[in-house]
Amino acid sequence: MSATRKARRRALHIALVANAGFLVAEVVGGFVFNSLALLADAAHMLSDVAALTIALVAQRLTDRPATAKHTYGLQRAEVLGAQANAVLLLAATGWIVYEAIGRLSAPADVAGVGLLVVAAGGLIVNVASALVLARVAGASINMRAALLHMALDAAGSLGAIAAGIAIIVANVTWVDPAASMAIAALVLWSAWKLLGETTHVLMEGTPRGLDAREVERFIAADSSVDDVHHVHVWNIASDMPALSAHVVIAGEITLHEAQIEGDRLRTKVLERFGIEHTTFELECHACEEPSGEG
């Protein structure tokens, strides 16, 4: 296992323990102080605990070696984990909005001081967890999904703090459900974006930050290349781009010379685009287009 992946697993463990511990405090505080903002944030934190668990399991699966049955290993597990987290976020959003609408029509008494204290504690846990994950997230969509949960919970805690201050200063109880709906809007936007990213990976779309046409032009511009076609760029995992292409090598060369040229081109692609998994089908002339006849 690489040092980066070990660091990611360690960061996920730290964030999971911290959030699971504070989840209990937030649920108790929500009921004791009658705060929907705390319960809404607790629901989101529950989804965070589940999200971090999913991310940790996915990271473990990703670290498993390739086998004859799974020749790339279980690299896509981190994408599936991130997608599951997006669905969890959407479900949490629905519950928050439902409860907030009820509270807006019938405001409840909320203990502002208690709400403020618990929300401030939540903010500390969220920010600390986010910083731990951000240091090792890199391009992993699984880690970014876990980080997104932490960042949104930090925003939720800020909303709960604002609600606590408003209740203490002006006894404005409607701020509590209003803050909950603002949190829900943030969660919805981010969850939808995350769901789109994970679906894009699973549909083998071009990796974020890469342009397949630019890659094709880069290869075609090499002096040893006559033509490039059937270019495909996709992600095996979110941080593992792959490339395959048919490359027509210029001139009459031996198989050994063609292999040398192929290795050189793979190195150039790695240095320019960071694509480690490159497969070239080397040809001495362009493929014939299908005639379309039966």
Residue 294: per-residue pLDDT: 43
Residues 170 and 243 in one domain: no
Residue 79: per-residue pLDDT: 82
Domain assignment present for 294: no
pLDDT at 177 over 90: no
Domain assignment present for 47: yes
| Whole-number Å distance between alpha carbons of 7 and 9 | 6
Residue 212: per-residue pLDDT: 92
pLDDT at 293 over 60: no
Range of the domain at 266: 212-283
Residues 111 and 245 in one domain: no
Joined together, the tokens standing for residue 27 give 């649920």
Cα angle for residues 39, 81, 271 (degrees, 5° grid) = 130
Domain assignment present for 69: yes
Query: Residue 192 contacts by C-beta under 8 Å, 6 or more apart in sequence?
Result: 86, 90
Residues 218 and 127 in one domain: no
Banded model confidence at residue 178, pLDDT cuts 50, 70, 90: confident
Domain assignment present for 207: no
Residue 200: per-residue pLDDT: 85
**DSSP sequence for 231-245:** EEEEEEETTEEEEEE
| Whole-number Å distance between alpha carbons of 144 and 147 | 5
Residue 166: per-residue pLDDT: 82
Number of domains comprising the chain: 2
Order of strands across the sheet that contains 225-237: 225-237, 240-249, 277-283
Residues 243 and 192 in one domain: no
Q: What is the pLDDT of residues 130-174, one digit of tens each?
A: 888 888 877 677 787 778 778 777 877 787 788 778 888 887 777
Query: What's the Rg (C-alpha) of the chain?
Result: 25
Residues 114 and 31 in one domain: yes
- The rounded mean pLDDT for the chain is 81
Sort 52 into a burial class: Cβ within 10 Å, 0-12 / 13-18 / 19+. Answer: buried
Banded model confidence at residue 267, pLDDT cuts 50, 70, 90: very high
Q: What is the CATH number of the domain that holds 130?
A: 1.20.1510.10
* Strand 277-283 to 240-249 pairing: parallel
Q: What is the pLDDT of residues 33-63, one digit of tens each?
A: 776 666 766 766 776 787 788 778 877 877 7
Which of 167, 202, 237 finishes a domain? 202
Q: What is the CATH number of the domain that holds 277?
A: 3.30.70.1350
Q: Which of 21-25, 30-34, 157-161, 207-211 has the highest mean pLDDT?
A: 207-211
Domain assignment present for 293: no
Residues 160 and 218 in one domain: no
Residues 174 and 44 in one domain: yes
Banded model confidence at residue 286, pLDDT cuts 50, 70, 90: low
Task: Specify the amino acid at residue 258.
Answer: A
Residues 61 and 185 in one domain: yes
List beta partners, residue 281.
246
Which of 147, 179, 202 finishes a domain? 202
Residues 275 and 175 in one domain: no
Residues 156 and 227 in one domain: no
| Whole-number Å distance between alpha carbons of 272 and 250 | 22
Sort 68 into a burial class: Cβ within 10 Å, 0-12 / 13-18 / 19+. Answer: exposed
Is the CB of residue 162 less than 8 Å from the CB of residue 175? Answer: yes
Stretch 65-71: mean pLDDT: 81
Is the CB of residue 218 less than 8 Å from the CB of residue 269? Answer: yes
Dihedral sign, CA of 54, 58, 59, 61? positive
| Whole-number Å distance between alpha carbons of 163 and 254 | 74
Residue 110: per-residue pLDDT: 66
Domain assignment present for 162: yes
Domain assignment present for 247: yes
Is the CB of residue 33 less than 8 Å from the CB of residue 118? Answer: yes
Residues 141 and 246 in one domain: no
Q: What is the pLDDT of residues 180-206, one digit of tens each?
A: 787 778 778 878 888 888 888 888 888
Task: Specify the amino acid at residue 40.
Answer: A
Residues 132 and 229 in one domain: no
Domain assignment present for 129: yes
Q: What is the pLDDT of residues 86-134, one digit of tens each?
A: 887 788 778 778 877 877 776 666 667 777 887 788 788 888 888 888 8
Which of 202, 233, 263 finishes a domain? 202
